[in-house]
Chains A and B, each alone.
Chain A
Amino acid sequence: MLDLIANSLRRTWLRTVLMIAASTMCFLLFGLLGTVFLSLNKSVTGDDSGRVITVNRINIQQPLPVRYADEIARTEGVADVSLGVWFGGYTEQPGQQFPAFPVRGAPYLALYPEIAVDPAGRARWLDERRGVLVEQRLADEEGWQVGDAVVVNSLIWPQQDGSKAWSFTVSGIYRDDSPFGARTLLMHYDAFNEARRFGTDTVAWLVFDLAPGADVADVARRIDDRYLNSGNATRTQSEEVYQQAYLNQFGNLSQIVMILAAAGFLTSFLVLANAQALTLKERARDYAVLLTLGFRRATLALAAVGETLLTVGIGAVIGLSVAWAYIVWQPIDLGSFLPDIDFHGEVLWAALPILLLLAVLASAAPLASTFRLQIMESLR
């Protein structure tokens, strides 16, 4: 039967190649989009940090007064508090931004233990008002080393003299493998706040840890109730929920990705099902001969599914390999505001049921015909 499948595929080689191509496109799309989907979801759900974020109730772009940091720090159930501001940093091309944040140093490092910096670098940064901590991958890209004087341009913030080119010293280099951690740069909020031309004493967000035993919903309600009737009402939520809300600014990316993947799957299914239906029509007489000789219908059906599985499988291997190679050698850049896109092993596991489903669905109509096939009608 394997002979028959192999020879049949060879006989209609052009159709076989086109079927493999359709399957390749399906799994290439699945590999790329599945990777984006998983990366987005992992960035939200992969890290149960316990951190809580407070932002302006209107939207994330509206600032909050910096005094909220001290007020929130005095709230029952709140531990370390830090803050952050979007800096919009780049070195040469504004389109090649990296995530740069003015923060409050010591509490920020306490809140983010995933920032792996050596003690000397940490101490140096906390001492240097114009010092920056740079994530390893950004430092490698820019060729920066500890002690280097560097200039970082801001898309948003001019200094008092109007210049948007900010000078810093690299105090330390750290590694952060969390979803939003790659290529980040941290600077001191106080120095930034004094130097910027507008927006003084405002922050984009506040981040804090809960004291042991504190309940996030209870703490969030008390904070938000306090500022409800002020000019800057707040929205306090867990970091996980915040990240989801943040990603939702860009549209429901997961849904878009899923729709695109489904469209690719459906298109490939239609191509494969059509090709399989044609194949069976051509082979009806062969199947009738085999039934005459004593082959069972189930055997022929298995051969039909096996043939589709082989074709789709070859396409899947090629498609997923190309997707993997593309992501590894040509990383997908969704901009500095979205997490890094890495190829996840889960994509391969998820591809397996898709592969089987595609093969079975594409073979469904031919299979039904195989079981209905009348020997004498097919031989006439």
Chain B
Amino acid sequence: MPMAVDVDGVSKTYVTDGVKTPALNAVSLSVGEAEFVGICGPSGSGKSTLLSLIGGLERPDRGQITVFGQDLGALSDSQLIDFRKRHIGFVFQDFYFLEVLSVRKNVALPLRLRRLSRRQIRDSVDTALDLVGLGHVADKRTRYLSGGEKQRAAIARAFIANPGLIICDEPTGQLDRVNARQVLDLLRALSDRGTTVVMVTHDLVAADACDRVILLDKGRVEPAPRQQAHA
């Protein structure tokens, strides 16, 4: 299986007020293309740090991260921004919408960076919102959406530009069981369509939906308890 993500010996330590806090210690892992991988572990295990490093939002202190064959460490800040724009979509636990914009305009943001006509953008947004079942709230402000609707809108924003990799940080963390199931189904559908999904979660139900789960503890990868192939 061709590799979408390859993490090799990555370490990261945060320094706050002179106090060093190790987050990751020589982590190595790989994620295949179109794989749906869960990263699990207790709080402070380094899950979100690993996700931000794979997403190119931060740089590791040591080690190498390769996404779709590109060594992220070799890219300048502006090249990294371009790379994210073309290859990576993000879903956050707290959604992170621009509250001054409508659902439609929030979802359209990644397309605004491409040379597309207004009509093309509108059509793509309508399709994406229909796919996640939010066509009826397209023109509402995001603050009027329920938690489940917000997360589905966030997923629409993440996949609308057809990235090869979608990174999700606790996407079901704030959702009830029904809404969590809908979100996981959406992510599964994206994976089935060929998108690689890397999801941080501490939710066992969410982990169960993944093809494979990687355990992190104290900044290190633990031996996997199981590997589950998606049927």
Binding site for B on A (CB under 8 A): 1, 3-4, 7-8, 10-11, 285-286, 288-296, 375-376, 379
**Chain B interface (Cβ within 8 Å of chain A)?**
52, 55, 57-58, 78, 81-82, 84-86, 90, 92, 96-101, 105, 109-110, 112-113, 157
Q: A47 to nearest B CB, angstroms?
A: 56
* Chain B residues positioned under 8 Å from A293 (CB to CB): 84-85, 90, 109-110, 113, 157
What is the CA–CA distance of A1 and B108 in the complex, to the nearest angstrom?
Answer: 12
**In-complex Cβ contact of B81 among A7, A10, A285, A294 (8 A):** A294
Total A-B Cβ pairs within 8 A: 52
Nearest Cβ distance between residue B213 and chain A, in whole angstroms? 24
Contacts of B110 in A (CB 8 A): 293-294
B100 touches A376 (CB 8 A): no
The A contact surface, by secondary structure, is helix
Chain B residues contacting A292 (CB-CB under 8 Å) are: 55, 57, 84, 90, 96
> Are A289 and B101 also in contact (CB < 8 A) when A294-B85, A376-B58 are?
no
Q: Do B90 and A7 touch (CB < 8 A)? A: no
Of B84, B100, B101, B157, chain A has the most CB atoms within 10 Å of the CB of B100
Give bound CA distance, A379 to B99, whole Å: 15
Check B109 against A8 for contact (C-beta < 8 Å): no
On whether the beta carbons of A379 and B100 are closer than 8 Å, the reply is no
Q: Which residue of the partner chain A has the closest CB to B113?
A: A294
**In this complex, what residue of B is CB-closest to A5?**
B100
- Closest A residue to B108 by beta carbon equals A3
Assembled-state Cα–Cα distance A288/B109 (Å): 13
Inter-subunit contact B84/A294 (CB<8 Å): yes
- How distant is B156 from chain A, measured CB to nearest CB, in Å? 13
Bound CA–CA A94/B105 (angstroms): 68
Residues of A close to B101: CB separation below 8 A = 3-4, 7
Min CB distance, B207 to chain A, in Å? 23
- Chain B residues closer than 8 Å to A289, beta-carbon distance: 96-98
Task: Give A298's nearest chain B residue, CB to CB.
Answer: B78
CA distance A290 to B112 in the complex (A): 11
A-B contact pairs, 19 of them (CB 8 A): A4-B98, A4-B101, A11-B99, A286-B98, A289-B96, A289-B97, A289-B98, A291-B81, A292-B96, A293-B84, A294-B85, A294-B86, A294-B110, A294-B113, A375-B52, A375-B57, A376-B57, A376-B58, A379-B96
A-B pairs, 6 with minimum CB distance: A294-B85, A7-B100, A289-B96, A375-B57, A11-B100, A286-B98
Please report the C-alpha to C-alpha distance between residue A285 and residue B78 in the assembled complex, in whole angstroms: 19
A286–B142 alpha-carbon span in the complex (Å)? 14
Residues of B within 8 A of A286 (CB): 98
A290 vs B113: C-alpha distance when bound (angstroms): 10
Across-interface contacts of B98 in A (CB, < 8 A) = 4, 286, 289-290
The listed residue with most A CB atoms (<10 A of its CB), out of B58, B78, B98, B99, is: B98
| Shortest distance between the CB of A278 and any CB in chain B (Å) | 16
Given known contacts A293-B90, A293-B109, A376 and B82 CB-to-CB distance under 8 angstroms? no
* Contact in complex: B96, A285 (CB < 8 Å): yes
Question: Complex: how many Å from CA A19 to CA B85?
Answer: 34
Q: Kindly list chain B residues whose C-beta atoms are within 8 Å of the C-beta of A8.
A: 100
Given known A7-B101, A11-B100, A296-B81, contact A290–B109 (CB-CB < 8 A): yes
The contact of B52 among A10, A291, A294, A376, by CB within 8 Å, is A376
Nearest B residue to A11, CB-CB = B100
Q: How far is the CB of B163 from chain A (nearest CB, A)?
A: 10
Q: How far is the CB of A267 from chain B (nearest CB, A)?
A: 29
CA of A291 to CA of B82 in the docked complex: distance in angstroms? 10
Q: Which residues of A contact B81 (CB under 8 A)?
A: 291, 294-296
In the bound complex, what is the Cα–Cα distance between A376 and B55 (angstroms)?
Answer: 11
The answer to whether B113 touches A295, judged by C-beta atoms less than 8 angstroms apart, is yes
- The answer, among A1, A7, A11, A294, for a CB contact under 8 Å with B82, is A294
- Bound state CA distance, A296 and B84, in angstroms? 11
Q: How far is the CB of A284 from chain B (nearest CB, A)?
A: 12
